[in-house]
Amino acid sequence: MGPTASGKSDLAEQLAGVIDLEIINVDSTLVYRGMDIGTAKPSRLLLEKIPHHLIDIRDPRDAYSAAEFAKDASQLITEIFTRQRLPVLVGGTMLYFKALLQGLSDLPPSDPKIRGELEQTLQQIGLLALHERLQAIDPEAAKKIHPNDPQRTLRALEVYTMTGKKLSELQGQRCSVLSDLSVCNIALMPASRELLHQRIEQRFHIMLHQGFLEEVSALYQRQDLNEQLPAIRAVGYRQAWQYLQGHLSYEAMIEQAITATRQLAKRQLTWLRAWPDVHWLDSDDPALLEKTLEWISRFSQAD
């Protein structure tokens, strides 16, 4: 695990030279076909050399959820073990890791009729009164939801109306598909935040040189894609899309894409700091591979 541009894929490639492994992608953008440069997707040569999974499995017009990832990844882990290889999860989409390793709560899909009735009530009595209603029904959920957050307030009330159960109760009933397996959690991070920021900026300029705008232009020229889709909302792609629309200048596109990527890295680090049982390694350590192998060995012996 680790923030974007921290060297996760490079380390995984080095590990594949000494461990019989297969890589499972845990990056929500690498699942999309036709999005190669802006996602720093592994080269075709590398994909042929080392078994990779969950890459190029969706068209950009089709969403791919954390729940789908958890199901697909858990099945792959079982299959990889039957081949007597080590499954190695590589990526920075922390929600995917959470869905797989900690489980997702089994919440019902939204009901348009109930949601419509609740939105009508919202218009009639206001958000504060609606939040107070939630507080009376589910104080634990109300405590976590800001009184000025209509979307989450409505969702909590919708779930209660549909199921008769509190949102906080259902969210507490998480079950992981890998509850009987031990997982070695390794996080990569450069020695300083400033170094990571420099890498992010350098990598974006390299992507532009490699033809990133041409890649986004090919997507833009399709008639079935728009900037509301998860694929097009990905950092870099959203800003390039807005540039092609004429909403951003070239310079503003670059600046905003780099800023958005740095903000993504910050969110990833926030997730990781709260992640249980994670072992941090310096991604610039010359002995990174050796220290990673040492930690995996120590973890295996303890297990």
- Strand order of the β-sheet with 86-90 is 52-53, 21-25, 86-90
pLDDT in the model for residue 67: 86
pLDDT in the model for residue 56: 98
Q: How far apart are alpha carbons 57 and 18 in whole angstroms? A: 28
pLDDT in the model for residue 174: 59
Q: How far apart are alpha carbons 60 and 218 in whole angstroms? A: 12
Q: Is 303 exposed, middle or buried (0-12, 13-18, 19+ CB in 10 A)?
A: exposed
Label residue 24 left, alpha or beta by phi (over 0 means left) and psi (-120 to 50 means alpha).
Answer: beta
**This prediction's pTM:** 0.80
Q: List average pLDDT for each run of 10 residues in the chain, which is 303 residues long.
A: 96 97 98 98 95 98 92 95 97 94 76 91 94 95 89 90 89 65 92 96 98 98 94 97 98 98 96 93 97 92 72
Asked if 272 and 94 touch (Cβ cutoff 8 Å), the reply is: yes
Domain ranges of the chain: 8-104+176-302, 112-171
The DSSP 8-state label assigned to residue 62 in this structure reads: S
Q: Write the CB contacts of 167 (distance below 8 Å, at least 6 apart in sequence).
A: 107, 138, 141, 155, 156, 159, 160
pLDDT in the model for residue 111: 86
Asked, colleague to colleague, whether 8-104+176-302 and 112-171 share their fold, the answer is no
pLDDT in the model for residue 133: 95
The DSSP 8-state label assigned to residue 138 in this structure reads: -
- CATH match of 8-104+176-302 with 3.40.50.720: no
Q: What are phi and psi of 96, to 5 degrees?
A: -65, -45
- What kind of fold does domain 112-171 have according to CATH? Histone, subunit A (1.10.20)
Q: Kindly report the number of other CB atoms within 10 A of residue 7's CB atom.
A: 18
Q: Which residue shows structure tokens 């109300």? A: 142
Q: How far apart are alpha carbons 78 and 22 in whole angstroms? A: 12
Amino acid (1-letter code) at residue 120: Q
Reduce the DSSP state of residue 240 to 3 states and report it: helix
